[in-house]
Amino acid sequence: MVLKITNLKARRGGFQLYVERLEVNSVVALVGRNGSGKTTLLDAVAGLIPAEGAVEACGREVSALPPEERKLVYIQATPVDLPMKPRRFLRLVASKWGKGEWEVKEVVERLGIGNLLNSSGLSTGQKQLLNIAAGLLAEPCAFLMDEPTSHLDWFNKRIVNDVVKKIGVPVLYVTHDPFEAFYVGDVICLIEGGRIRGCRENTPADFSEVERIVKSLYL
Ligand SMILES: Nc1ncnc2c1ncn2[C@@H]1O[C@H](COP(=O)(O)OP(=O)(O)OP(=O)(O)O)[C@@H](O)[C@H]1O
């Protein structure tokens, strides 16, 4: 499976995004300074802002489709509130995708969120875990993830990172954390001024090398 982005152009105020070509086959960690266009790129691919160009997912050109028909799951940095208790919510999402209790149980176990199912109030990080669980149940053609672990504690961050590494569909993964980028990413891409400046395979590196590699990406 591949998420293919070609000649994608979008505007945000005076800012212009232009991505000539980006192919996401596995996990692409997208890094870049504040304001470099990471969220704009994800919003444009998801169809949340007007954009020109082509977006292909599951072998289908989706750029003319509304967001809900693109078969993409977008986990945004700030999780959305659940409209009901977690257990009911996950059951509802599962049934929408033709799944049942077994699949809910499996996702709940994978993310270690069994203790949240009957909660009536959730913290921001807990909401994010439920958002991710719902996304996994949807089995999309690709995931767009914008700093999905920014509200998570160290343990949950590692759980989500490990789930992402085994997710089996293309993931475009925005993070500000170089250690996370090198942990989850098969490929690391740098965006600057609304353009992808370069991508490199993530060859296994000792974490002591990460700072040097990040600097080499930026400089
Ligand atoms: N609501 C807005 N109105 C006008 N311009 C905006 C708006 N949001 C972003 N921009 C412009 O778009 C550019 C890209 O913003 P974007 O949110 O995509 O950056 P980012 O790389 O995700 O940043 P961050 O790392 O801070 O989340 C910004 O530099 C800014 O000029």
**SS3 of 21-80:** EEEECCEEEEECCCCCCHHHHHHHHHCCCCEEEEEEECCEECCCCCHHHCCEEEECCCCC
* Tens digit of each residue's pLDDT (9 = 90 or more) over 8-36: 999 999 999 999 999 999 999 999 999 99
Cβ atoms within 10 Å of 100's Cβ, excluding its own: 10
Distance in Å, CA 40 to ligand 1 centroid: 7
Distance CA 95, CA 100 (A): 6
The confidence score (pLDDT) of residue 210 equals: 64
Q: Where are the domains of the chain?
A: 3-218
Q: Which of 15, 17, 190 to mutate to test the pocket of ligand 1 (most atoms within 8 A of CB)?
A: 15
* 34 CA distance to ligand 1 middle (Å): 8
CATH 3.40.640.10 is held by the domain 3-218 = no
Distance CA 103, CA 114 (A): 13
Query: What does the pLDDT look like over 28-57, one tens digit per residue?
Result: 999 999 999 999 999 999 999 999 999 999
CB atoms closer than 10 angstroms to residue 168? 9
* Cα dihedral 9/12/14/16 (nearest 10): -20
- Give the residue whose CA is nearest to atom 24 of ligand 1: 34
Q: Please tell me if the CB atom of residue 86 comes closer than 6 angstroms to any atom of ligand 1.
A: no
Residue 179 binned pLDDT confidence (cut-offs 50, 70, 90): confident
With a 6 Å cutoff on the Cβ, whether 45 touches ligand 1 is no
Ligand 1 centroid to Cα of residue 35, in Å, is: 5
Query: What is the interface pTM, i.e. ipTM, of the complex?
Result: 0.97
Sheet with 15-24, strands from edge to edge, namely 15-24, 3-12, 51-57, 60-61
Look at 16-25, 48-57, 129-138, 198-207 and tell me which has the smallest mean pLDDT. 198-207
Residue pointed to by tokens 């959305």: 80
Is any atom of ligand 1 closer than 6 Å to the C-beta of 39?
yes
Residue 20 burial (CB count, 10 A): 12
> What was the pLDDT predicted at 203?
79
